[in-house]
Chain A
Amino acid sequence: MSERVPATRSAPAPLAPTARRRRGFLQTYLTPKASIPPRAVLVLGAGSFVVIVVAWTLLADLIANPFFLPSPLTVVQAEVDMIQNLGFLGDVAWSTFRILAGFLLAAIIAVPLGLLMGSFEAIRAFFQPAINAIRYMPASAFIPLLILLQGLGENEKITVIWIGVFFQLVLMVMDIAQRVPSEMLNVAYTLGATRATVFRKVLLPATWPEVVDVLRITMGWAWTYLIVAELVAANAGIGNFILVAERYFRADRIIAAIISIGILGLMTDYLFGLFHRWAFPYVEKNAPNTGRRLFRGGR
């Protein structure tokens, strides 16, 4: 929240409370694109959770069958029970390990390759058509094949995540490198830079902030592929936990596990955001790039 530039910055500060002109409620809240008081933003944001919980409670009361829809309280109790008695944190650890392994292996190859593809047309011309085609093959469709090839071990799950992340990430990184303004490079040439220097000292640093942005986005996708892989076949992990809970008709545990994934996702997103602010203090906060604004909204 703190990084957000207050939209009312340019408005003159009111001199005294009595001097402030009161605007009508409708005028304040229903003027297109006009900003509303910061406190109202907070209240509305928290309000959406309240609405969800209330509607959920009412619906659970209405259905009155915890097999199908347990109440929020039951789910919280299930979560505590899972952590204390069912070793759920162990499943979380397994899933986190798989995500990190698959994601890092994808990023280590995709980021350099994407940067090269975005910078050199020869490399782009070679790789892009194939990667573009593979990108449309859903990672989850590879699971049966991977099970045949790799068995049911960790390699299979890591490969699924790798496939799901790698091909998207390469193209997104390529796009970033391609969008570096050519004048930025030309200035360096007129200052005496060689081609290698331009690549190292201009092109690469110009792409880093947005590369971290797309890593943040693809990390979210990695969670999806992981759960799919674990749902199909695994002996540990959050996906596996959900599958087992289904066999025992424990909707409360399923919902608790799903919410846990959401919280884990939010945490990684928050860490990426912290890192971004620490590493790139020079990036304009309201720069219209890669959904940064969009992703910041939730916190």
Chain B
Amino acid sequence: MSEIQFQDVAMRFRTRDREVRALERTSLTVPDGQFACIVGPSGCGKSTLLNVAAGLITPTEGEVLVDGKPTTEPGADRGMVFQSYSLYPWLSVRRNIEFGLEIKRVAKPEREKISSELIRLMKLTGFADAYPMALSGGMKQRVAIARALANDPQVLLMDEPFGALAALPRQVMQELLTDIWQRYRKTVLFVTHDIDEAVFLADVIYVMTTRPGQIRNTVPVDIPRPRTFDTLGTDAFARIRKQVTGYIHEESLRAVESELRVEASG
């Protein structure tokens, strides 16, 4: 049982002349083993939500509970994957994956067992001793995901992990991720601005409003698993995709209108 719970989390920044509300009070619960996606227009605070969950930033209000326990600092129970991969260039693929285990002082045979398994699952066979510079973007991100999974976290936080990839490797990565998720059944909170990606991956999609962000719709995705490339052609996929796109579209219009109002008054 490892659910993640946001309780009235709000974020405000103070600039020189005014207070910026980045995130309105937000509460949401991702139950154990669920794959939840957050989508929203850029600047809506979806990454803020993730960083708060990771413990990398402290919210102005509210708190995040993992299994009912409040989190204040980053910890190994919440693994994170960033868009920029952030691999350690001086470590081989294997040692990147084992980084968290090394910190925990896991014995070497055990470390190697775990990393070998992940290298196989993440289709990195033959690259165990390669340095990150030799890898493609998709491979780098597979190493980053393997590194997070090796630590066996309770929750996996993913901040637009495939945002820097081209369309084709991105689709392949999404398929790989659903397979991996089916196997490990981690609780996942996945931030993206790609609607297709969210529909393909998620059990539930949270659509956020423009800044100051809050959750405006909760869209359950009842497409059966396992999902494959063929899932993209189903009616259910098209229906949910249209629904979410509609919400985002409304939000984008609202954003444009509010920008115009600011222009007119300023």
Q: Check A12 for interface membership: any CB of B closer than 8 A.
A: no
CB atoms of B86 and A187 under 8 A apart = yes
Q: Closest A-chain residue to B100, C-beta based?
A: A191
State the interface size on chain B (CB cutoff 8 A).
28
Binds B, one of A91-99, A226-234, A279-287: A279-287
Most buried by A among B88, B132, B144, B157: B88
Binds B, one of A25-33, A51-59, A178-186: A178-186
Among B74, B88, B90, B104, which residue has its beta carbon within 8 angstroms of that of A190?
A: B74
Q: When chains A and B are docked, how far (Å) is the Cα of A187 from the Cα of B86?
A: 7
Q: What is the 8 Å Cβ interface bit string for chain B, positions 75-113, against chain A (1 contact, 0 not)?
A: 110111010101011100000000110011000000000
Q: Check B5 for interface membership: any CB of A closer than 8 A.
A: no
Q: Check A104 for interface membership: any CB of B closer than 8 A.
A: no
Residues of A within 8 A of B79 (CB): 190-191
Residues of A within 8 A of B186 (CB): none
Q: When chains A and B are docked, how far (Å) is the Cα of A193 from the Cα of B103?
A: 6
Residues of A within 8 A of B147 (CB): 187, 191
Residues of A within 8 A of B99 (CB): 188, 191, 201
Q: When chains A and B are docked, how far (Å) is the Cα of A202 from the Cα of B89?
A: 10
CB atoms of B103 and A191 under 8 A apart = yes
Q: Closest B-chain residue to A186, C-beta based?
A: B56
Residues of A within 8 A of B54 (CB): 186, 189-190
Q: Check A105 for interface membership: any CB of B closer than 8 A.
A: no
CB atoms of A191 and B86 under 8 A apart = no
Chain A stretch 187-208: residues in CB contact (< 8 A) with chain B: 187-193, 197, 201-202, 205-206, 208
Within the complex, the shortest CB–CB distance from A288 to chain B, in Å, comes to 14
Among A192, A280, A284, which residue has its beta carbon within 8 angstroms of that of B100?
A: A192
State the interface size on chain A (CB cutoff 8 A).
22
Q: Check B133 for interface membership: any CB of A closer than 8 A.
A: yes
Residues of B within 8 A of A197 (CB): 103
Q: When chains A and B are docked, how far (Å) is the Cα of A208 from the Cα of B76?
A: 27
Q: Check B131 for interface membership: any CB of A closer than 8 A.
A: yes
CB atoms of B86 and A181 under 8 A apart = yes
Residues of A within 8 A of B75 (CB): 190, 192
Q: Check B151 for interface membership: any CB of A closer than 8 A.
A: yes
Q: Closest B-chain residue to A202, C-beta based?
A: B88
Q: When chains A and B are docked, how far (Å) is the Cα of A208 from the Cα of B88?
A: 13
Q: What is the 8 Å Cβ interface bit string for chain B, positions 139-172, against chain A (1 contact, 0 not)?
A: 0000010011001000001000000000000000
Chain B stretch 50-72: residues in CB contact (< 8 A) with chain A: 54-56
> What are 16 residue pairs bridging A and B, where the CB atoms are less than 8 Å apart in the complex?
A181-B84, A181-B86, A183-B84, A186-B54, A186-B74, A187-B82, A189-B56, A189-B73, A190-B54, A190-B74, A190-B76, A190-B78, A191-B147, A192-B75, A205-B90, A284-B133
Which residues of B pack against A, CB within 8 Å? 54-56, 73-76, 78-80, 82, 84, 86, 88-90, 99-100, 103-104, 131-133, 144, 147-148, 151, 157
Which residues of A pack against B, CB within 8 Å? 181, 183-184, 186-193, 197, 201-202, 205-206, 208, 280-284
